[in-house]
Amino acid sequence: MLNKLTKRTAALLGTALALMLSACDTTRAPSASTTTDAVTTQARPKPTTTTGTKWVETFDRLDTSRWVVSSWGGFWQQSGLSGTFTPQNAAVNGKGQLVLTLKIEACAAGLCAQAGELQSQQRMGFGRYTYRMRAASTSSDPAVTGTAQPGNISGAFSYYQDSTTEIDVEIEGHRSSTLNAAVWKGLDTKSYAVLPTGSNLAQGFHDYTYEWRSGRITYFIDGVKVWETTQNVPQASAHLMLNVWPTLTNAWGGEAKPGTVYMLVDSVTFEPF
C-alpha cells in the first residue's frame, strides 16, 4: 500500500515524506494517484528465482532457503533519523510467528533505528497473496495485546526492481485502524486507497489479501473486499517483502520516539492463478 518500498532510498524517502510516504519498497503517502520520485538504489539482495506453484510459510523456523534477511542502510535516512535494517531484528519466536523488531534510541544524530526486514528468495506473479499479521505494537507476544506507537510503518508487499512491480499493504503507527493499499507500475505511476477498518490493526491478527491479475488487483481484509483497481497494474513477477521501519512525520507513520515495537507475521500464502 502505498507507501513500501521504494522506500529504499533516502532520496525516495525525502520526496515521499515531503509529500506526506512504506515499502515496500515506498515511503510514499496517499497524496496523489500519480507521483514521481527520485531514487538512489541501495545494496539489497536481489534473488531472481521465480515460482508458479503454491507457496505457504508458517514460520515454524526461519528458512533461509526461502527468505533473505535484510542487512543494509535503511532508506529513511534524514536529518534527525538514521539507522539500518539489522539481521537480529527478524526472527521466529518458537510459537509459529515471525517477529520483526523496530528499536529506536536517542543518539548524537537525533534518533537511531534498528529495523527488521525479510524478502523472499523467489519471485511470484499473478495470484492470491495472503498475509496474516499483526501491525507493530509494544507487545512481542502473540497472546498479549500491546499498544500502537507513532513513528513506524508495518509493511507486507510484492516488490521488484525500483517499483517496476509494487503492491503494498501498509499500516501507519499513528493511524493503526487504517489500511493503506497501493499498486505501482514504476516509480512515477501508482494507484492507491486509504481504507479505514474500524479495528485497531496493532491489537489483533488479520488476513490481508490481494488478488493480482493481469488487468486488476483486488484487496480483501479478513475475506471482505475493500478495494479494487484496474489502473497501473504491474506485470513483472516480484519478491514478497515484510518489514517494519521508522518515520519522522505525521504525514506518514507519525513522529518516532525512543522505544521498541514488534510486527508479528503468522503466515504468508501465495496461490498462483
pLDDT tens figures, 44-69: 445 556 777 899 999 999 999 999 99
- CB-based contact 37:27 (threshold 8 Å): no
Residue 34, pLDDT score: 27
Contacts of 253 (CB under 8 A, 6+ apart): 3, 21, 22, 150, 151, 152, 153, 172, 173, 174, 246, 247
What's the Cα-to-Cα distance from 36 to each of 17, 23, 45, 48, 75, rounded to whole Å?
Answer: 13, 16, 24, 26, 17
The single residue listed with the C-alpha cell 501507519 is 172
In angstroms, rounded to a whole number, what is the distance separating the alpha carbons of residues 29 and 16?
6
- Nearest Cα neighbor of 173 from 203, 142, 150, 197 is 150
135 to each of 59, 84, 131, 238, 248, how far by Cα in Å? 17, 20, 11, 23, 18
Evaluate if residue 6 carries a pLDDT over 50: no
Distance CA 111, CA 78 (A): 10
Lowest mean pLDDT across 49-63, 87-101, 138-152, 233-247: 49-63
Which has the minimum average pLDDT: 18-27, 190-199, 259-268? Answer: 18-27
- Domains in the chain, start-ordered, CATH in brackets? 10-272 (2.60.120.200)
Residues marked active site are found at: 166, 170
Q: Residue 253 pLDDT > 80, yes or no?
A: yes
Encode pLDDT of 107-150 as tens digits. 998 999 999 999 999 999 999 999 999 999 999 999 999 999 99
Q: What is the pLDDT of residues 177-232, one digit of tens each?
A: 999 999 999 999 999 999 999 999 999 999 999 999 999 999 999 999 999 999 99
The position carrying cell 512515477 is 188
pLDDT for residue 30: 32
Adjacent-strand bridge partners of 99: 91, 264
pLDDT of residue 48: 53
Give the tens place of pLDDT for each residue, 23-44.
333 333 332 222 222 222 334 4
